[in-house]
Amino acid sequence: MNSVVNRDSVKFENYVETRIEDNVIKESAIQISLNHGKNELLNIGVIMRTPGKDNELIMGFLFCEGIISSKLDIDEIIINDNIAIVQVNHNIEINKNIHERMNTVTSSCGICGRSGINDLLHFHGPKLSEEIKINMELINKSLVLMRNKQAMFTSTGGSHACASFSDKGDLIDIQEDIGRHNAMDKLIGNMLICETNTLKNEYVVVSGRASFELVYKSIKAGFPILISVGAPSSLAIDVAIEHGLTLCSFAKNNKMTIYSGMRRIMKI
């Protein structure tokens, strides 16, 4: 599925007008509904995303919503015309009051439309590793590796990326999407598909700011360290501190600000 499309445009540079076909990142909606075998479809949300890796997106999204805990909880995903029907196991418990969405989940807000958020603010994730230690040199390497692998961003300038790395700085996986939280969901979804959802000594790097959602999803997936290129939010910092996540932001060229979990960052 093509994630980059062409649109006619007029480019102005030094007072010179040039008509060009510009590469732009594709954005479209996908509706996700759960079939729980009770002759009733539960609408989980209409997500604005970049098409491609939709199975990963759906799995990661459902995992972070607390609906599934592994790929074995899903029997089948059927996608037709941007409508996804997810057949989940009968033993999965679904709380309609929590999980049903009232409106569209935009590419900038992953929790928009939830009927309640109290469960999000009082969640539990796996125990985060205290063994992993990384330094600025490793972080610099990770930022360069991630940027070099951002094919969609290179083509359009319109995507965000989430990338996971080993404690040695080796790139494990990278996912791109117009939405930051979608890229994280695709990363987590691919982790579930590959059955590597039990994390011990890996860290995650995001190309934008560190919102509450990205901190929340990182903790749910078991990443002990989250590094962001952009700024954090107050709630992101508070949740990171509460759950023992190492949160580093404004990471660039031997610089970063550590807001929590300094114990996992080495000076040299």
Q: What is the mean pLDDT of residues 4-8?
A: 95
Q: Which domains does the chain have, with CATH numbers?
A: 28-120 (3.10.20.10), 134-266 (3.40.140.10)
pTM, whole model, 2 decimals?
A: 0.90
Q: Identify the residue with better confidence: 97 or 194.
A: 194
Using DSSP's 3-state secondary structure scheme, residue 170 falls into coil
pLDDT tens figures, 50-85:
999 999 999 999 999 999 999 999 999 999 999 999
- The catalytic residue among 64, 109, 112, 162 is 109
The structure tokens 């996608």 sit at 79
pLDDT tens figures, 19-52:
999 999 999 999 999 998 766 788 988 999 999 9
pLDDT tens figures, 210-248:
999 999 999 999 999 999 999 999 999 999 999 999 999
Predicted confidence at residue 86, as pLDDT, reads 96
Q: What percentage of the chain carries pLDDT values higher than 70?
A: 87
pLDDT at residue 113 greater than cutoff 60: no
Per-residue burial over 102-131, b if 16 or more Cβ lie within 10 Å, else e, is: eeebbbeebbebbeeeeebeeeebeebbee
Per-residue confidence band for 6, with pLDDT thresholds at 50, 70 and 90: very high
Catalytic residue status for 248: no
pLDDT at residue 112 greater than cutoff 70: no
Q: For residue 119, what are the contacts with CB-CB under 8 A and spacing of at least 6?
A: 66, 98
Predicted confidence at residue 125, as pLDDT, reads 83
